Structure 1
């Protein structure tokens, strides 16, 4: 986490100890706090949705099992088994669509870590002028990435590739198709 300099911003009333480094660290702290706050706000709602979809899936499977006993006694035009299967498939597709949030959370957590590490290096008035310290920072940041796309993006930008091109190189992660899922629903 970004360690906020004591005393906060002095930009409105600068004195001899005013520093653009301190102001930069404060701004990085604001960014980290905003990202974390947004993630915490949305996490609760998403967890509730995930639980709801999981419960719905369990109920659909139980209903399907119960209906199998009686489906032959009901009129064929009801197509109950087919309709329950369609509902189940749609539920799974909805859950898979929510996987984006899990990836987004991981990426934003890595952004917070990167900003915090950068703030730490910039606040060290000796280390910030040492190329080896920047290399250590880069290696530490890259080692924390869990998704291949993050590593590709990171490496491309460090090579000087334009941001849009680096994003294109990293590409998009294909979400699992419903046919690739088993009966269980899991977020990765």
Structure 2
């Protein structure tokens, strides 16, 4: 069952990655097209007669480009989601290996090693803090609150390396 969960997470990540890639490429292409439209409008003859139209095209083009760039940046959530799911995937896979090996299953050192292996993969502070909280006896809800708080603090810092 753990292997099934790992496979399902992996499949979802692959499907999502393809969709996000397609959307990002589409938005990037549209930004280039809008830029070309705005530049072409600036080259129209009878510039004085068409000044109002040209201005509208340029302003609207700039507005659409800005919105598309903001959309591309919003897709960055997928990077974090993908990274989190990858960590879950690896943790479940390692857990499956441990519980599937009777020689390791009842060895406390193996469980401690598994915990260390899982913790070492976490690169985002909120993941590390949630993991530590759960190992310290926090409930899932308490750990989530700790993770949410750490995530908001990271957003406030506006710099996050992962």
TM-score, structure 1 length as denominator?
A: 0.70
Corresponding residue for 1:152?
A: 129
Corresponding residue for 1:75?
A: 51
User: What whole-Å deviation, never above 9, does each CA across 1:167-186 have from its counterpart, x for those lacking one?
Assistant: 121124649x9xxxxxxxxx
Find 2:28's aligned residue among 29, 54, 58. 54
Find 1:91's aligned residue among 55, 68, 71. 68
Does 1:141 find its partner at 2:115? no
Can you give the 5+ residue segments of structure 2 that lack an aligned partner in the other structure?
Answer: none
Aligned-residue Cα RMSD (Å) equals: 2.5
Corresponding residue for 1:40?
A: 14
Corresponding residue for 1:161?
A: 138
Task: Identify the structure with bigger relative contact order (alpha carbons < 8 Å, sequence gap 6+).
Answer: 1
Displacement after TM superposition at 1:67 (Å): 4.0
Can you give the 5+ residue segments of structure 1 that lack an aligned partner in the other structure?
Answer: 1-26, 178-187
Partner SS, residue 107 of structure 1? helix
Displacement after TM superposition at 1:75 (Å): 3.1
Corresponding residue for 2:103?
A: 126
Displacement after TM superposition at 1:69 (Å): 4.7
Displacement after TM superposition at 1:58 (Å): 2.6
